[in-house]
C-alpha cells in the first residue's frame, strides 16, 4: 500500500517546491500554441506540458472538463497524462469537482480514486454543497488507497460567496466545510489527506484554519493576480498551502524549455516569498 497522500505531498513539496501547475487545454490556449481544436491538438498540448513539467514540479492539476469535451478520445488522453505524469514523479491532482450522493458518489470514487482505475489520480477536487457527509464514499476510498481529496470551501468566483459565506448555525458555510475536514485530518502526521480549495484572491477569509492539519489548494497565482504576498495575507504562516498557476505558465508553450523555465521561475519566486 502507498503512503497516505498527506505524507506523500509533504515529501514532494520538500523535494520539488510547493507550486501546482494546471494543465488546462483551453481552446484559446490551443489557438495560442498554433494547435488545432481537436484531439490531436489536445494530445500535443497536454503531453507537451507533461514533458516540460512532470519531472520538476510537485503537483500537476489537469482540468478534466477540457479533456471530456472531446469525448472518449479526450478521456484517453487524460489517462495518458495521469500515467505519464506519475511515472515522471509528479503528483496528479485531477480537477473534477464532483459531488453527489450515495451510490453515485461511490461510483465517482471508484473512477477517480479506486485502485486499478485508469483515471485514478493522487487526489481529486470535490464539491461539498450537497452536504459534507455526502462526500464520505470518496473520502473513505481515498483513505483506503492512500489518495487525497481537496474540498471546495471558499472559491474566488463571485457567484460562490452567496453560498460559501452564508451563515448557518451561527457560522459561515465555508467554516463548516473547514471544520468537517479538520475532523477527518485529526491526528495525522505530517498532515491529513483532506485538503481544501480556497482562492488566493479571496482576501480576508474570515475562517479559522488553525485545526485543519491538511493542505490548501490556492488557485489564482499569476494571471489571476495573486502573488506570494497575497498568499501570506490570506493564509498567514500556514505551512501547507499549495499555490496554483495555469495560464501564467502555459502561455510560454509550446516550447518545452520555455514552459519548464516559466514554471521553475514561478516556483522559485514563491519560495523566495
Domains of the chain: 5-272 (3.20.20.70)
| Cβ(218)–Cβ(200) below 8 Å | yes
> With contact defined as beta carbons under 8 Å apart, do 217 and 195 qualify?
yes
State yes or no: is 171 an active-site residue: no
Q: Report pLDDT digits (tens) over 102-148.
A: 999 999 999 999 999 999 999 999 999 999 999 999 999 999 999 99
pLDDT tens-digit readout, 168-194 = 888 999 999 999 999 999 999 999 999
pTM of the model: 0.96
Task: Quote the strand ranges of 99-240, DSSP E.
Answer: 123-126, 148-154, 167-168, 171-172, 194-198, 216-219
Distances 235 to 11, 141, 196, 221, 252 between C-alpha atoms, Å: 21, 29, 12, 14, 29
Catalytic: which of 97, 158, 171, 251?
Answer: 97
| pLDDT for position 222 | 67
Amino acid at each position: 500500500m502507498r503512503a497516505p497522500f498527506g505524507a506523500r505531498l509533504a515529501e514532494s513539496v520538500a523535494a520539488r517546491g510547493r507550486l501546482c501547475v494546471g494543465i488546462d487545454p483551453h481552446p484559446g490556449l490551443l489557438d495560442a500554441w498554433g494547435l488545432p481544436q481537436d484531439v490531436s491538438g489536445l494530445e500535443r498540448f497536454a503531453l507537451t506540458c507533461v514533458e516540460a513539467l512532470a519531472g520538476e514540479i510537485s503537483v500537476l492539476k489537469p482540468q478534466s472538463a477540457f479533456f471530456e469535451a472531446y469525448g472518449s478520445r479526450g478521456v484517453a488522453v487524460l489517462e495518458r497524462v495521469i500515467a505519464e505524469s506519475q511515472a515522471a514523479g509528479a503528483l496528479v491532482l485531477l480537477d473534477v469537482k464532483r459531488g453527489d450522493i450515495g451510490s453515485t458518489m461511490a461510483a465517482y470514487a471508484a473512477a477517480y480514486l479506486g485502485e486499478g482505475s485508469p483515471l485514478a489520480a493522487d487526489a481529486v477536487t470535490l464539491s461539498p454543497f450537497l452536504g459534507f457527509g455526502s462526500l464520505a464514499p470518496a473520502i473513505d476510498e481515498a483513505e483506503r488507497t492512500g489518495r487525497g481529496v481537496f474540498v471546495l470551501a471558499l472559491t474566488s468566483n463571485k457567484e460562490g460567496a452567496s453560498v460559501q459565506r452564508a451563515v448557518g448555525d451561527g457560522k459561515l458555510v465555508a467554516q463548516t466545510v473547514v471544520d468537517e475536514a479538520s475532523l477527518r485530518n485529526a491526528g495525522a502526521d505530517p498532515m491529513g489527506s483532506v485538503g481544501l480549495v480556497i482562492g488566493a484572491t479571496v482576501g480576508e477569509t474570515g475562517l479559522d484554519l488553525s485545526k485543519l492539519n491538511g493542505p490548501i489548494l490556492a488557485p489564482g497565482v499569476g494571471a489571476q493576480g495573486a502573488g506570494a504576498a497575497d498568499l501570506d495575507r490570506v493564509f498567514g504562516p500556514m505551512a501547507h498551502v499549495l499555490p496554483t498557476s495555469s495560464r501564467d505558465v502555459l502561455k510560454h508553450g509550446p516550447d518545452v524549455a520555455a514552459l519548464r523555465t516559466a514554471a521553475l521561475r514561478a516556483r522559485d519566486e514563491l519560495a523566495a516569498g
